[in-house]
Structure formats: C-alpha cells, structure tokens
Amino acid sequence: MAAPTATISGLTTPVVLLDRVKVENNIRTMQLACDAAGVKLWPHIKTHKMVEVARRQLAAGAEGLTCAKLGEAEAMLPSGVKRIFIAHSLVDTRIAPRLAALADQLAELRVAATSPAQTEALVKVAQAAECNLKVMIAVDTGLGREGVRYATEANKIAALIKASPHLELGGFYTHEGQLYAADPGEQQAKVVEVLDRLAAVRDAVDPKQPLWPGCSVTAKLMAATGRVQVVRPGAYMFGDIALAVTSRVMPVSD
C-alpha cells in the first residue's frame, strides 16, 4: 500500500489504491468471526499478492497463509509468515531446491494432492527436496476445478502419502467457488451440502483429519458450522465490492 504522504498525481499507472481503514476493518471482521467460532484463518493471498496486506492479516491473528503457487509463497516470506499452504499441484522435481529453501524458513509447509497421479509426482518432488511436507487432499465438492470426488481416489492418495518418509497427511480441503452464484437464501443449505461431500470423503480415509474449506462468500457460514477447523477466504480483504463482482446481489456490510 502506498505511503500516506504519496499523492495521486505522483503515482504511475496502472496502480491499485486501497483504503487502509476499510482493508483493516475487513481483515479484522473476518478474524473476529473466526476467533468467535474457534476456527483458524489461513487467508488466500492470490487476490492481493501484497506482503503488507499479508503482514496485517497475520498481525490480526491469521495462523498461516494460503498461496496459489510456489512463487507466491516465496514472495510472502518478508511478511513474517511461518506457516504456508501451497494449494497447487506440485509435480516438477526441478523445483526441489526452491521448495527445500522455503521449508527451511517455515515452521510448517503444506502442499496439495489433487489426484493419485499428481501425488506420485509429489512423492518424487519431496524426495528430491529432502523436506517434510504436510499434504492436503483436494476434494471436488461441486465446482469441478480440482480434486477427487470419491473415497477410492482419496484412499489411493492417502496410501501414497503414508508410504513416503517425507509426506504426512494433513487434512482435506475444497474450494466451494460454485456458491458465489447461489441465492443468499440458499447459501446455508449449500454450505451443508458442501461439507457433507467433503466430510464423506474424509471419513472414508481418516475421520480425525481436519476440514479446510475456502471461499470468501461462505467463510463466516463455514466457520459457524462447528464442523471445520480452518477457513481460507481470499477476496474478503477487498470487502463487498470484490464479492459483488463474483457473486449475486448482496447486502452491504456495516
């Protein structure tokens, strides 16, 4: 975010201007909702990609950060983050040195497993990097973007993880992005539907594993269910204007 002394005439375009007070209020509001529900917040930084915003999210109480790729995770290190989840399919052993260097600077590094074939590649990446990683199994709960749909696939992934000395199963995650298009009156029921699908796959593998949904428009509803341990919203720091672009008409927050 630009320094308070900067003037608009002195900025070069294109440039994004953020209202610091509003951004901090959005960050605080989500954190308070998570704290009240006893749920951890790992905000997705792919929307803002700004170290300063990430630093403020962590200062407000976020336990970790979610990143879309290895490069984003590396770029967030100056924020002081100690826990990162890379929600991306890592398959190329050439990234091993970078992954190892990143892991050395963190207390916890989580990565994604989206299919048995990708997990086989991930095993090789972790072996080449010689670092320990917690693996989150992706579950497709309706969006159709990534992840497994059935317990048979999830169990194959879990077996590959268990057989690797460098990998440990860390939970199950989903991105319920299809709920951006849901009518406000339907969202509660849709949240339950998503969690039922996510939990069904989890329960068939290991009922003790945590559930990590991720969507700004449903994050507070998810946190309030008592069924999830972590939420991973991203666009919430921009507030209602961001959600209005991606979802149906919605009331403006206070």
Pair of tokens at residue 140: 């497709």
Name, in order, each residue with C-beta under 8 angstroms of 162's C-beta and a sequence gap of 6 or more: 169
Whole-number pLDDT of residue 185: 85
Q: Are strands 108-113 and 211-213 parallel, antiparallel or unpaired?
A: unpaired
Residue 104 CA to residue 132 CA, distance in Å, equals 10
Whole-number pLDDT of residue 165: 98
Whole-number pLDDT of residue 246: 59
CATH 3.20.20.10 fits 19-242, yes or no: yes
Residue 233 CA to residue 170 CA, distance in Å, equals 19
φ, ψ for residue 101, nearest 5 deg: -65, -40
Whole-number pLDDT of residue 183: 85
Pair of tokens at residue 153: 């696939």
**Could you tell me how far CA 1 lies from the centroid of its own chain?**
22
Whole-number pLDDT of residue 249: 46
Whole-number pLDDT of residue 240: 67
What pTM value is reported for the model?
Answer: 0.92
Give the residue extent of every domain in the chain: 19-242
DSSP characters over the chain = ---TT--GGGPPSS-----HHHHHHHHHHHHHHHHHHT-EE--B-TTT--HHHHHHHHHHT---EEESSHHHHHHTGGGT--EEEE-S----GGGHHHHHHHHHT-SEEEEEE-SHHHHHHHHHHHHHHT--EEEEEEB-SSS-SSSB-SHHHHHHHHHHHHH-TTEEEEEEEE--GGGGGS-GGGHHHHHHHHHHHHHHHHHHH-TTS-EEE--TTTHHHHHHTSS-SEE---GGGGTHHHHHHHSS--PPP-
Q: How big is the chain, counted in residues?
A: 254
Per the CB < 8 A criterion, the answer to whether 240 and 253 are in contact is: yes
Mean pLDDT, each 10-residue run in order, the chain (254 residues): 68 89 97 99 97 98 99 99 98 98 99 99 99 98 95 99 99 94 88 98 99 95 98 92 57 54
Three-class HEC string of 167-209: EEEEEEEECCHHHHHCCHHHHHHHHHHHHHHHHHHHHHHCCCC
Q: Residue 46 to residues 85, 182, 206: CA-CA distances in angstroms? A: 12, 23, 30
